[in-house]
Structure 1
Amino acid sequence: MLDALLQQISQCRLCEPELPLGANPVIRAHRDARILIIGQAPGTRVHQTSIPWNDPSGDRLRSWLDIDRETFYDARKIAIMPMGLCYPGKGRSGDLPPRKECAPQWHQRVLNELPHIELTLLIGQYAQNYYLSDKPKTLTETVQNWRRWLPEFIPLPHPSPRNTLWLKNHTWFENDVVPFIRNRVHEILMDELPFTGSNEC
């Protein structure tokens, strides 16, 4: 059952010795979820609050999807599972990459409990490298070829403020890709499943 699996994940200490702030796995899921967001790893603010995408990156992501916080954090609609479930620490230029232990340990087990996912948003190169076969070498080329993986996946750049320059230099993303994503997300969310009565989240 998903609720038991999420409880098990919350107690994971697999790589805690390598984590500067200790283990605090951040994940949200419900069996009824129709959309899955797979990003990189929590930042310090998300680690402190245990709320995924609770930062400026999340604000931009919600703007891209054109949904409010209430909808975004409704696990019956949107599941959120990063490549690394815990804050990995600080590197030379931003946070370290997600820990490599998380996805092989947990992802497929969670996916097995999410039978209604219609669309998975792969945010950033780590999620794209893990889930997309025969992808181009660069994130820019991958996002440019986003239609290749429809209807299952859509690759996105990370919405971090650090990527503001990338967005300015690649206006086609917000002009062409974002409107499609918004329409598809709204289309899926409007066609909700009947409530199952489960409290899994």
Structure 2
Amino acid sequence: MAKPIPGKLHDFFNHHHFTFDQQPGQEEFRATVNRIFSRNGVAFEMLSTGRIVRVLPPVLGEDLKRTIFRTGDRTLDNMLDECRIKFSDRNPLVCREALERLWDGWERLKSLADPSDKKKSIKIILDAISAEPSLWERLENEAIELTSIGNSHLIRHSEVNQVPVIDVDQVDYLFHRLFGMIQLALRKKSSA
């Protein structure tokens, strides 16, 4: 991609000899592509390298870029890192896979404190997050609700009665919601 620059006029044939400047041409093309993305509400951006990337929401984007998982469980770390990378992908199907992987990570996280009893384990995790009764209860309700969403939608299971989550905005919302809960649990776990 290069920008044509009219050069010297060829008198006999009455036309200009063109030269091509690659840098301004690429910048102009990139600006045009990004303007089209922006005008149409598409969450993508063309970088100066020509690569198109997904623009993550500001609230979660920075956390996803800088988060390094050190849970003490290598499998969980890999699951969370995989979903973090996949969620940044521009392909909506890959983002949806990230949501599924995040839910798998949630189920694994819930069993870390006591692998033999998941209900007891989540109670231990919630105790580490908050000792204040009304907040603890809300967090417990959120944990139950998140588990219910994963079980009733085509996120964790593949039965015919599962409700698919296809809409990109819904995938983003559910990812944000669960990622926030997981981050809170991991921060409190590491500070305990």
Pairwise TM-score range, normalised by the shorter structure: under 0.3
TM-score by length of 1: 0.26
Instruction: Determine which structure has more spread, i.e. the larger CA radius of gyration.
Output: 2
TM-score by length of 2: 0.27
